[in-house]
């Protein structure tokens, strides 16, 4: 009886006091434990550091914490020395990061010893694909937090300032120190005086949190808003125009970060339109920014509708330019050679460009991983990528090390993530998508962190592990919380990426998405006259013989872009990791897998396994109900149901479609399809029509 009563009380308390819209992210901790903060200097940043300590201190009551700016060559720009007595750093942002680290350790029960902590990359950026009309390309969490449509779209309101500050604080707490404020498919208008004044307002809010503002630019800006007749990077007037523009920006924003550029890619203008190349284009901008300390992040996301395998094109286009870029240019390369697929091998450009700064671009927004509907924790995918062995400088040449300056001399090091943030109350659409924002920041700060540790931290911070004194012995004990909530929910997160790969595109399949929205399955989609490399059959190559893209020497030979022994490993289906088998090979339906099954059967089991995993996630979540705020619980439960339905659709669509070629039965111990192929194709056509 007593138990039921306390449950009822807890329930109403939760309902009345805590109705939780998720807006606080992982920054929930409030504490009444007093702390003495001593800091000789004062500044906006240091005031934030002090305030954070005073709000959330969970150490000994009345303890003295010293924040000290010192000289120390071992501390990198944003790094710090941490101890139980306080933080030492060479910069104010270092102090701030140290404070967040100290508080995080208190809140997650980690020890605080004497430690030197330096970040892996110097620049850790979010790329916002936000359009100036307020929409967000590939955004699934509402409209832009920076831009809006309408007449007064540029007026800065109190609400804007509050939201930008919350955003800045969240980023600072996980070490992000740069934000690109607009879409890579950039409107030239962003560089007009009117828009720059709003950029200045945003930069002013971000600054005390150690975050620099950057902009995506349109390569033809000198024509569209500058009134010149050309954007030729070697034209003197164009050079002067960019110099003047850089000066104008730095007058407004003295610590402006620089430009991100998508050029000669998917219809965007670029130097090739004027008979020039990537080096000419990137160096034009680099020279304009150089006197002010700005960077150019020049993207290598390029491919054309040619006979050459799309996966090879960026490497072929950029390798000849290695060593020719200015030292304030960084080539920004997506993790895989195609496009943010559920699983790809790493792009062969990592480690191959040895005399050019290269940085990775990851996608936090789930364009190809179920938008903000599917629960997919991305840290394991990024961990796999960052720790991939490139062999470029012998063993230990992981992707992370090819970009962090430890293998090659790089004047600047950086990493970027395409943000999943919008105006939704909970910022990211799915409450668990917040974990991906969190994970990106944490991995960008420290590439050696495990996904397990990141999930553990995020769950403890977000779901407020109950303090013992708050608990009634008969309701929820912390031990029980660990066992019944933390452990299973963490496991669910850690399994979620592989589950999505399994129900969408297992064994190295890729890009078999429905057209345009990239949400559901569309392995059949190939309208007449459409660019082949925009259609799924180009990627899966299914026929009566078998399935997969032959990228060995007998096919496109993309394997030759990888360093030995990878080239040999990938070339041979026996040594190629099975997770990438159909990325590199076209194999017969009866090809024998390592577990003895045929390829066709294995494909069926994988799809089924993906579905079963999501069903399992539903069970885990339902059992977590008593530990979670009812609003959050309900939102996630609802989304998991939709994810389960979607996973079945993926499985049915792909297996029934491929079965037309394989002419083999789905193993009889597996659940039978629930959907008809025709219905799924018709549904797909309806969504495509809605887009066109």
Q: Is 533 in the site for ligand BDP (CB under 6 A)?
A: no
For ligand BDP (CB under 6 A), the number of binding residues is 10
Nearest approach in angstroms of CB 339 to ligand BDP is 5
Nearer to ligand BDP, 367 or 533 (CB): 367
Whichever of 314 and 580 has its CB closer to ligand BDP, that residue is 314
Q: How far is the CB of 318 from ligand BDP (least distance, A)?
A: 15
Nearer to ligand BDP, 147 or 301 (CB): 301
Contact assessment for residue 417 and residue 363, using Cβ atoms and an 8 Å cutoff:
yes
Pick out residues in 113-132 that bind ligand BDP (CB under 6 A): none
137 binds ligand BDP (CB under 6 A): yes
CA torsion, ordered 119, 125, 126, 130, to nearest 10 deg: 170
Helices (H), 290-433: 310-318, 379-386, 399-403
- Minimal distance in Å, beta carbon 328 to ligand BDP? 22
Catalytic residue check, 472: no
Q: How far apart (Å, rounded) are the C-alpha atoms in residues 135 and 129?
A: 9
- Where in 253-282 is the site for ligand BDP (CB under 6 A)? 262, 266
567 contacts ligand BDP (rule: CB under 6 A): no
Q: How far apart are CA 545 and CA 592, in angstroms?
A: 14
Of 39 and 186, CB closest to ligand BDP: 186
- Please, what is the Cα angle at 628 between 625 and 633, to 5 degrees? 65
- C-beta neighbour count of 162 within 10 angstroms: 11
Residues in 195-234 that interact with ligand BDP by CB under 6 A:
none
Nearer to ligand BDP, 227 or 267 (CB): 267
Q: What is the distance between the alpha carbons of residues 596 and 609, in angstroms, rounded to a whole number?
A: 17
Residue nearest ligand BDP by beta-carbon distance: 339
Between CA 627 and CA 14 the distance in angstroms is: 10
Q: Is 285 helix (H, G, I), strand (E, B) or coil?
A: helix
| Residue with Cβ nearer ligand BDP (416 or 653) | 416
Task: Give me the least distance between CB of 267 and ligand BDP, in Å please.
Answer: 10
Q: Evaluate whether 645 touches 675 at the Cβ level (below 8 Å).
A: no
Binding mask 493-512 for ligand BDP (x = CB under 6 A): --------------------
Residues 83-112 that bind ligand BDP (CB under 6 A): none
- Residue of 146, 164, 340, 445 interacting with ligand BDP (CB under 6 A): 340
In whole angstroms, the minimum distance from the beta carbon of 301 to ligand BDP comes to: 5
- CA distance linking residue 26 with residue 385, whole number of Å: 25
Q: Return the axis-axis angle of helices 236-252 and 193-206, rounded to nearest 10°.
A: 40
Q: Of residues 20, 130, 367, 383, which has the active-site annotation?
A: 367
Helix (H) or strand (E) segment spanning residue 88: strand 86-89
Residues 375 and 639: beta-carbon distance below 8 Å:
yes
From 497, 477, 496, 500, select the one nearest 488 (Cα to Cα): 496
DSSP state of 136: B
CB atoms within 10 A of CB 691: 9
If the CB atoms of residues 80 and 513 are measured against ligand BDP, the closer one turns out to be 513
Active site residue 470: no
Residue 486: which residues within 8 A CB-CB, separation 6 or more?
A: 456, 459, 460, 465
Phi-psi region of 134 (alpha: psi -120 to 50; beta: other; left: phi over 0): left
* Nearest residue (CB) to ligand BDP, 340 versus 432: 340
State the minimum distance, in angstroms, from the CB of residue 634 to ligand BDP: 31
Q: Which is nearer to ligand BDP, 29 or 185 (CB)?
A: 185
Q: How far is the CB of 492 from ligand BDP (least distance, A)?
A: 27
User: Which residue in the list 248, 266, 590, 671 is annotated as catalytic?
Assistant: 266
- What minimum distance in Å lies between the beta carbon of 137 and ligand BDP? 5
Residue 185 contacts ligand BDP per CB under 6 A: yes
**Contact call for residue 516 and ligand BDP (CB under 6 A):** no
CA 97 to the chain's CA centroid: 21
SS3 content of the chain, % helix, strand, coil (to 5): 45, 10, 45
Asked whether the CA dihedral 398, 401, 403, 408 is positive or negative, the reply is negative
101 is known as an active-site residue: no
* Cβ-count burial 57-91 (b if 16+ within 10 Å, e if not): bbbeeeeebebbbeeeeebbebbbbbeeebbbbbb
Among residue numbers 349 through 368, which ones bind ligand BDP (CB under 6 A)?
Answer: 367
- The structure tokens listed for 243 are 């110099």
Q: Least distance in Å: CB of 337 to ligand BDP?
A: 13
> Number of C-alpha atoms within 13 angstroms, CB side, residue 38?
8
Asked if 212 and 206 count as a contact pair (C-beta separation under 8 A), the reply is: yes
Per-residue tokens: 597: 């099954």
User: Quick one: which of 411, 211, 206 has its CA closest to 296?
Assistant: 411
Bond before 445 cis per omega within 30 degrees: no
In the complex with ligand BDP, the residue whose CB is nearer, 266 or 472, is 266
Question: Least distance in Å: CB of 664 to ligand BDP?
Answer: 33
Q: Which of 339, 404, 601, 608 is catalytic?
A: 339
Among the listed residues 50, 81, 138, 430, the single contact to ligand BDP using CB under 6 A? 138
**Ordered alpha helix ranges (H), 624-676:** 630-662
CB of 283 to ligand BDP, least distance (A): 21
184 touches ligand BDP (CB under 6 A): yes
517 binds ligand BDP (CB under 6 A): no
Beta carbon nearer to ligand BDP, 266 or 470: 266
Nearest-approach distance from CB 614 to ligand BDP, in angstroms: 24
Q: Classify the C-alpha dihedral 216-218-223-224 as positive or negative.
A: negative
Report the sign of the C-alpha dihedral through residues 391, 393, 395, 396, in that order: negative
x/- letters, 298..327, toward ligand BDP (CB under 6 A):
---x--------------------------
Determine the Cα–Cα distance for residues 259 and 264; give it in Å rounded to an integer. 16
544 token code pair: 């009566």
Q: Residues in the site for ligand BDP, rule: CB under 6 A?
A: 137-138, 184-185, 262, 266, 301, 339-340, 367
Catalytic residues: 266, 339, 367
């Amino acid at each position: 009886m007593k138990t039921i009563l306390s449950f009822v009380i807890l329930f109403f308390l939760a309902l009345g006091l805590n109705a939780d819209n998720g807006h606080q992210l992982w920054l929930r901790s409030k504490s009444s434990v007093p702390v003495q903060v001593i800091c000789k200097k004062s500044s906006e940043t240091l005031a934030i550091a002090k305030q954070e300590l005073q709000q959330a201190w969970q150490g000994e009551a009345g303890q003295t914490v010293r924040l000290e700016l010192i000289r120390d060559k071992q501390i990198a720009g944003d790094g710090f020395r941490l101890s139980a007595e306080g933080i030492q750093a060479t910069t104010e942002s270092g102090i701030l990061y140290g404070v967040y680290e100290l508080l995080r350790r208190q809140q997650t029960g980690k020890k605080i010893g004497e430690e030197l902590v330096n970040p892996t990359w110097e620049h850790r950026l979010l790329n916002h694909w936000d359009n100036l009309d307020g929409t967000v390309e590939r955004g699934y969490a509402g409209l832009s937090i920076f831009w809006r449509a309408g007449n007064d779209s540029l007026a800065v309101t109190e609400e804007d300032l509050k939201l930008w500050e919350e955003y800045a604080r969240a980023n600072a707490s996980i070490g992000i120190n740069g934000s690109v404020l607009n879409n890579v498919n950039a409107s030239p208008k962003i560089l007009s005086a009117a828009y720059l004044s709003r950029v200045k307002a945003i930069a002013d809010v971000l600054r005390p949190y150690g975050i620099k503002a950057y902009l995506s630019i349109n390569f033809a800006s000198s024509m569209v808003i500058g009134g010149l007749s050309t954007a030729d990077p070697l034209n003197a007037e164009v050079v002067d125009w960019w110099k003047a523009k850089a000066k104008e920006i730095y007058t407004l924003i003295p610590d402006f970060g620089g430009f991100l550029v998508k050029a000669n890619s998917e219809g965007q203008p670029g130097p090739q339109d004027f008979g020039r190349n990537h080096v000419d284009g990137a160096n034009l901008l680099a020279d304009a920014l150089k006197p002010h300390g700005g960077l150019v992040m020049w993207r290598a996301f390029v491919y054309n509708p040619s006979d050459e395998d799309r996966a090879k094109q960026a490497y072929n286009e950029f390798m000849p330019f290695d060593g020719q870029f200015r030292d304030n240019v960084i080539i920004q390369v997506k993790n895989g050679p195609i496009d943010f697929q559920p699983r790809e091998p790493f792009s062969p450009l990592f480690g191959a460009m040895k005399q050019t700064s290269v940085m990775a671009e990851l996608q936090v927004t789930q364009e190809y991983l179920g938008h903000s509907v599917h629960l997919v924790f991305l840290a394991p995918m990024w961990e796999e990528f960052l720790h991939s062995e490139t062999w470029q400088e012998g063993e230990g040449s992981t992707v992370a090390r090819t970009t962090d300056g430890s293998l090659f001399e790089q004047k600047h090091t950086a990493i970027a993530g395409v943000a999943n943030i919008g105006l939704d109350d909970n910022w990211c659409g799915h409450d668990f998508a917040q974990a991906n924002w969190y994970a990106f920041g944490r991995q960008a700060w420290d590439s050696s962190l495990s996904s397990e540790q990141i999930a553990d931290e995020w769950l403890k911070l977000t779901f407020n592990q109950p303090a013992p004194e708050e608990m009634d012995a008969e309701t929820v004990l912390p031990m029980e919380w660990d066992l019944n909530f933390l452990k299973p929910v963490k496991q669910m997160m850690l399994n979620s990426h592989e589950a999505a790969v399994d129900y969408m595109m297992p064994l190295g399949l890729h890009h078999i998405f429905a057209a345009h929205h990239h949400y559901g399955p569309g392995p059949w989609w190939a309208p007449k006259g459409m660019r082949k490399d925009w259609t799924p059959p180009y990627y899966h190559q299914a026929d009566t013989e078998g399935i997969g893209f032959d990228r060995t020497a007998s096919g496109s030979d993309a394997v030759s872009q990888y360093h030995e022994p990878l080239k040999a490993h990938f070339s041979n289906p026996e040594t190629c990791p099975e997770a990438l088998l159909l990325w590199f090979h076209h194999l017969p339906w009866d090809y024998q897998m390592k577990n003895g099954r045929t390829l066709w059967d294995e494909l069926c089991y994988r799809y089924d396994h993906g579905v079963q995993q999501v069903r399992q996630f539903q069970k885990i979540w339902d059992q977590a109900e008593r530990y979670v705020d009812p609003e959050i619980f309900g939102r996630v439960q609802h989304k998991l149901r939709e994810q389960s339905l979607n996973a079945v659709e993926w499985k049915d669509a792909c297996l029934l479609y491929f079965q037309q070629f394989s002419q083999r039965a789905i193993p009889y111990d597996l659940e039978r399809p629930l959907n008809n192929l025709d219905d799924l194709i018709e549904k797909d056509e309806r969504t495509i029509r809605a887009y066109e």
